[in-house]
Amino acid sequence: MAKINSNYQKLAAGYLFPEIGRRVSAFTAANPDAKVIRLGIGDVVLPLAEPIRKAIDAGVEELGHIESFKGYGPEQGYEFLRQAIADHFQSQGADVAADEVFVSDGSKCDTGNIQEIFSTDAVVAVTDPVYPVYVDTNVMAGRTGAADASGRYEGLVYMPCTVENGFDPELPTGHVDLIYLCSPNNPTGAVLSREALQKWVDYAKANESIILFDSAYEAYISDPSLVRSIYEIPGARDVAIEFRSFSKTAGFTGVRCAYTVVPKSVQARNENGELVSLHTLWSRRQTTKFNGVSYPIQKGAAAVFTPEGQAAIKETIAYYMENARLIREGLAEAGIAVYGGVHAPYIWLKTPGNITSWEFFDLLLSKAHVVGTPGSGFGSSGEGYFRLSAFGVRENVIEAVSRIKALKL
Ligand code: PL4
């Protein structure tokens, strides 16, 4: 009989977000009249901006005519989009060339798949709390042992991000090969400073490590002095891969388009100790396993970088960030300790009365009919914390805050 990949049996039974969905469905089935407000999964609610939608429509129109019809596109993305992305990085002070950009159908896939090009005995460091995809995909690949009672996997290096250290992870005391960093952070909403990022780049250079930098929320940074791309940091082009997405930047969670930058200068060693280009490996991986994002969607993504597209997405982001302000300030008035929500669409809060994250989830759902995400779902250091997303319709956000306040926690 065929045998399974037994690493899958080390995983917790369900992935965090479907588990939330299951609990909410059970609640709504039992309470059909409850008006549930969902601030759990970070999923956008506002429609696609007009310049982007028009560009997608125009792309579809081209496919309707024999002269402009297109079949398979380049696996790495069309040149027009790769160039627009590279130009955008350059405008942010980050040195990226068009042929270092790999367009994809999501940062979830890219941050999950990237580990394939590294050795199975690579030592992996993750922050705690963390976007679960980084952890689970390394478990699936066999880079860990079993999970302990707190859910931490043997063999992974966890870097706590807590109130005490200002959500700024400390460098590992020993050697690690792969370092996942996310800034602005999901779930804490914290942003890594320029000094902190320089420290990581210096560590990676000294230790021949690779930084996997997820900047899916970079467009939510409003302070121009903060770092948006790791490539703004001297030396990063030799040690870092960066992931970005149109999901939260331009309302593409359902549309699907993202990109990953693998500089030509970033290298790692093979088993003979020789240096190998990660750009070449990722290109080999993508061309073998991925067939590209559809042409109309890439046209829509390119429209994000036009002046009209930039103006439109800034307006949408400002809307979500006003939601974040309302949640942050409303909960603070209710005496709840809140973090994040200034340069990120997530508010990270301490559960009142020291109840567990899942207890708070159940309390909020049953008493206020508000859905959030339990902090413990992001790692053991998230226990006793809770994440609220600012991706909601304004009236629902106001209503959710008022219902939470009324609980008098
Ligand atoms: C629920 C740090 C959300 N089903 O849309 P993508 O694939 O380009 O981006 C996914 C992604 C990548 N990196 C970070 C993210 O936070 C996300 C999206 N996270 C959340 O609520 O934490 C959506 C989660 C989705 C999932 O499993 O990713």
pLDDT tens by residue, 127-142:
999 999 999 999 999 9
Report the C-alpha gap between 99 and 55 in whole angstroms: 23
Asked if the model's pLDDT at residue 86 lies above 90, the reply is: yes
Mean pLDDT, residues 186-213 taken together: 98
Q: Is the CB of 214 under 6 A from ligand 1?
A: yes
Distance 95 CA to ligand 1 centre (A): 26
Q: What is the average pLDDT across 5-32?
A: 91
**Residue by residue, what is the 3-state secondary structure of 321-358?**
HHHHHHHHHHHHHCCCCEEECCCCCEEEEECHHHCCHH
When pLDDT is averaged across residues 318-330 and rounded to a whole number, the result is 98
Predicted pLDDT of residue 17? 86
Q: Considering the chain, what is the average pLDDT of its residues?
A: 97
Tell whether the model's pLDDT for residue 14 goes beyond 80.
Answer: no
| Confidence band, pLDDT 50/70/90 cuts, at residue 18 | confident
pLDDT of amino acid 47? 98
Residue by residue, DSSP assigns 67-124 as TT---S--TT--HHHHHHHHHHHHHTT----GGGEEEES-HHHHHHHGGGGS-TT--E
Residue of the CA atom closest to atom 4 of ligand 1: 17
How far away, in angstroms, is 19 Cα from ligand 1 center?
Answer: 15
Q: For position 13, what pLDDT does the model report?
A: 72
Q: What is the dihedral of CA 127, 131, 135, 137, to 10 degrees?
A: -150
* Distance (Å) from CA 384 to ligand 1 centroid: 22
**pLDDT single digits (tens) 257-272:** 999 999 999 999 999 9
Strands of 310-384, DSSP E = 338-340, 346-350, 370-371, 373-374
Amino acid present at 106: G
> Which pLDDT belongs to residue 19?
85
Backbone angles phi, psi at 144, to 5 degrees: -135, 165
The per-residue pLDDT for 284 is 98
Q: What is the mean pLDDT of residues 28-44?
A: 96
Within 8 A by CB and 6+ apart from 17, the residues are 40, 41, 373
Ligand 1 centroid, distance to 42 Cα (angstroms):
7
Is residue 11 within 8 Å of 136, Cβ to Cβ?
yes
Q: How confident is the model at residue 12 (pLDDT cuts 50, 70, 90)?
A: confident
User: Quick one: average pLDDT of 182-205?
Assistant: 98
pLDDT, tens only, 280-318: 999 999 999 999 999 999 999 999 999 999 999 999 999
Q: Facing residues of 259 across strands?
A: 103, 244
Count of alpha carbons within 13 Å of 134, Cβ hemisphere only?
Answer: 25
Q: Which of 15, 45, 107, 391 to mutate to test the pocket of ligand 1 (most atoms within 8 A of CB)?
A: 107
What does the pLDDT read at residue 15?
A: 79
What is the predicted pLDDT for the residue at 49?
A: 98
Confidence of residue 402 (pLDDT cuts 50, 70, 90): very high
CA angle 156, 161, 164 (to 5 degrees): 135
Which residue matches tokens 């219902």?
403
User: Phi first, then psi: what are they for 136, rounded to 5°?
Assistant: -60, -35
Rg (CA), the chain: 21
Structure confidence at residue 16 (pLDDT) = 86
What is the reported pLDDT for 216?
A: 98
Q: How far is the CA of 108 from the centre of ligand 1 (A)?
A: 6
Q: Which atom of ligand 1 is nearest to the CA of 258?
A: 8
From the CB of 182, is ligand 1 less than 6 Å away? yes
* pTM strictly above 0.95: yes
